[in-house]
Amino acid sequence: MRIIKNIALSILILILVSSTIRIRPQQNFLIGLNMVIEFTDGGIARTTLKQHPFDFNGVSLLSNEDVVKEIMSDEESIVELILLFFTSNPSKAKYRVVSHIFLDDNEEVFSNTGKPGIMDRFKGALVLVVDVFLNSTSGFMKIDEDTYQVFISDYFTLRSPGSWIDVMEIRFSGNVEMLNFSAEPAWAKPPLVLEGNVLKWFNLNEADAPDSYVLTLKIPGVVFSNVIRNLRAEVSRSFFSNIDSTLWLNVKNTGMEGGFFIVSLLEPCCEQARKIFLKPGEEASIGFPIHVSEGEVIVRVFGDGNKLVEKTIPLKSFPLLSLLGFVLTIIGTLMLHVHISERLKKQGMQALTKEQ
């Protein structure tokens, strides 16, 4: 990822989690970021973040002790950022730091340094490894027995224009099985590697990089504690436009608390999801591109890891020809009314002239 250290990392975390971070204005540099997320039995996401600093000319700064110390001193903030990939509330997420930030000279980091269409390869990386317990995150929802949906948000692309993950690699180990996956927005490039138990995206720019990744996984051994459901929601309105094949949904927060909601759309061919924040009583309109012209789709709304709404929506649209015919009928009726009124007025004037 191309990211200005002080502006894009420190200020981003400051805004999102309201933590106090010391900013060093004299140290301005970019960081290439590669992330590996490995889903394991029991619902653990082992997340490895590999960082490599470089200057604005694309020259490595890994040998600069001050820069390396600065990155290492920000470990707590970086851990919070990793948690934000999985949850809207890092303070409630459970995690374990497997390896504090350390220098690995044998690792490699790929990053776009500003050259169009080119990924530079940097030798060496500052590596941080964190286990995230998915059952404590808001982006983890149970769909069926041992089947879960995992929603991963890239908070760099969502919150910081001009920043992105250069390489995102998602792996599955043990008895974890991937059933389905998608990435948003629709124009984001698909993974360059899709084989076996590995998905891998190489993102040359922010437009290519997905804002979010939605995975449907079979994970054995996940245990949930009893959670009081506080969020409430409803799908208050739906409209399918057959002009651009888009289903529009109005989702409303009907509860007393604000929070993040994940709206999932399931078609026979694929699954999509959107993540939104709604205040109490707030309503938002969300559009999903539809890949079928008729039939039904299933809409689910999740909040705090709980399924709040499941609704089957038929793909019915207001026929364009019927609408056109209705409009023409109204126009014709008005024109006829004006014509008759003019004739009656004219006849009345003629009769008045004859009497005079």
- List the one residue out of 177, 170, 205 whose CA is nearest residue 85: 170
pLDDT score of 74: 92
Virtual torsion, Cα 53, 70, 201, 171, nearest 10 deg: 130
pLDDT surpassing 60 at residue 275: yes
Helices (H), 63-203: 65-73, 75-84, 155-159
User: To the nearest whole percent, how much of the chain has pLDDT over 70?
Assistant: 78
pLDDT score of 218: 95
Q: List all residues 6 or more positions away from 153 whose beta carbon is below 8 Å from its beta carbon.
A: 84, 85, 139, 211, 212, 275
Range picked from 70-74, 111-115, 301-305 for highest mean pLDDT = 70-74
pTM of this prediction exceeds 0.75: no
Q: CA–CA separation, 147 vs 342, rounded Å?
A: 71
- Radius of gyration, CA atoms only, the chain: 27
pLDDT surpassing 50 at residue 151: yes
Q: CA–CA separation, 96 vs 85, rounded Å?
A: 15
Q: CA–CA separation, 258 vs 210, rounded Å?
A: 26
In terms of pLDDT, which residue wins out, 331 or 50? 50
Lowest-confidence pick of 172-176, 322-326, 345-349: 322-326
pLDDT score of 88: 82
Q: CA–CA separation, 66 vs 353, rounded Å?
A: 103
- List the one residue out of 34, 27, 28, 29 whose CA is nearest residue 1: 34
Number of residues assigned to the chain: 356
Q: pLDDT category, 329, cuts 50, 70, 90?
A: low
3-9 own/partner pairs: CB under 8 Å, 24+ apart: 3/30, 3/31, 3/33, 3/156, 3/160, 3/163, 4/28, 4/29, 4/30, 5/29, 5/30, 5/31, 5/53, 5/70, 5/71, 8/156, 8/160, 8/162, 8/163, 9/74, 9/77, 9/78, 9/81
Instruction: Give the burial class of 50: count Cβ atoms within 10 A of its Cβ; 0-12 exposed, 13-18 middle, 19 or more buried.
Output: buried
Lowest-confidence pick of 61-70, 130-139, 213-222, 287-296: 287-296
